[in-house]
Structure 1
Amino acid sequence: MKHARILILAISLFAALPAAARQPMSVADTSPVLVELFASHNCRACPKAHRTLAEVDSQRDDVLILTWSVDYWDYLGEKDPMAMSESKDRQRAYVDRFRLRGPYTPQTVYNGVEQCPGNKLPQVESALERTNRVAPSPAHLKRKGGKIELTGNVKELTDIFVIDYLDGDANPTDMVHPVTHVTSIGPWLGGRVEIDPSVCKSTCALVVQEAGFGRVLAAMDLPAR
């Protein structure tokens, strides 16, 4: 993971503006729940998790699912071709956040505030319900003209990630949106930010998250250009 050197070109900063309170019933202001699945090619329970999340993805339009492949089960079989060091680092941060004994697969994380095994649909649905009851986010992403606008007031340092993933015909796996690359395009301290969609080179997700892989404040998928 690296900070983009073209941050000044990709993001135009404006004077800080107070964020309007989010209206939960407004479609325009509602960010999807970011569901992150941590899985492995060598995990026996993971195929069921992929099927479970594929079902969730097909039935709901209020979720954005990303699959992170980890390599710590590679000793059990073949090397996982989709595994990245960023996946393991991200999951270990969640292990600390949720005070777990250690990482496991298939693990799902919901907006950085809930987690559960990803191979049991009732648990997944329950985690989504709990996540939706969390207080409204102070950050908002929306499309405005040819740009993406991020607004809000935040009390702590916040990261903006561009997460590339495979989708549609470009995805030869049984995973939902397997992640292929992650870029941090810089910290955000609130106010109004305009993001150029060109930061996304393929199909990707734009994720606004409290520093240290904390709560996800906003997420948006960007289709391939």
Structure 2
Amino acid sequence: MIRFLALFVSLLTLSAPAVFAETEESKPVLVELFANQNCAACPQAHKTMREVEASRDDVLILTWIVDYWDYLGEPDPMAMPESKERQASYAEQMGLRAPYTPQSIYNGVKECPGPRKRQVVKNIEKLSKAPTHPLLLSEAAGRISVSGEAEGAYHLVEVHYASPEAHDTDMVNPVMSMRVLDSMADAPHACIRYCVILLQSPETGEIAAFWQPET
């Protein structure tokens, strides 16, 4: 059964199959960590994300592996060009001097170094209590739609990440692929397991909502 939530719908963690539900007090937050195996500070960031995931039921964490540190050692086999492009867009949208690792992004609108657990938790708690977004997601029979009105353009991004059995790293939900869906209404998708569909502004980076299948 697919449960529909006003903003986030049936959000599951990878390690604990709990259904996230939005309440008047809080709603789930998407955390994106940008990292690389040649980044000296990244192991601590992965540790922080594992601890956060284990201690909270209001987050979905995705790890995007960039390739711009590959010259420091062996190329990271899980790096994707899309990861670098996505992080560069965030840097521009947030007015940052440049991307860095390990950088963590929260609902596309806040950021901080990934190892700083106190700041990580602060960002999550602040955004979990933010006002509900006017755009809503609904899914039925393999198709997803957006309803409601909001200023600016948005698009749907389908993201697939590795299952626990598919990798032996210490990363939380390493991303394997992404694609932008063709439409915003009754759009067919291939998100069945270990995946999420984001409703995101390409102009500001804001993630207004996200959906995961219940398994």
TM-score (norm: length of structure 2):
0.81
Name the residue aligned to 1:68. 64
Name the residue aligned to 2:105. 109
Structure 2 regions of 5+ residues with no counterpart? 1-5, 8-19
- Provide the rounded CA distance (Å) in 1 between the counterparts of 2:123 and 2:22: 23
- Mapped contact 1:204–1:223 kept (Cα < 8 A): no
Name the residue aligned to 1:118. 114
Q: How does 1:46-61 map to 2 (within 5 A)?
A: 46-61=42-57
- Provide the rounded CA distance (Å) in 2 between the counterparts of 1:211 and 1:95: 13
Deviations 1:108-145 (A, max 9, x none): 00001110011121010011123234332112234557
Q: How does 1:1-225 map to 2 (within 5 A)?
A: 27=21, 32-144=28-140, 148-188=144-184, 193-196=185-188, 198-200=189-191, 202-212=193-203, 214-222=205-213
**Higher strand content, 1 or 2:** 1
- Provide the rounded CA distance (Å) in 2 between the counterparts of 1:116 and 1:98: 12
Percent identical: 42
Q: Which amino acid aligns with 1:151?
A: S
- Give the aligned length: 197
Structure 1 regions of 5+ residues with no counterpart? 1-20
- Provide the rounded CA distance (Å) in 2 between the counterparts of 1:32 and 1:75: 36
- Provide the rounded CA distance (Å) in 2 between the counterparts of 1:148 and 1:69: 27
Say which one has the larger Rg: 1
Q: Which amino acid aligns with 2:85?
A: D
CA RMSD of aligned residues (A): 2.6
TM-score (norm: length of structure 1):
0.78
Q: Which amino acid aligns with 2:79?
A: A
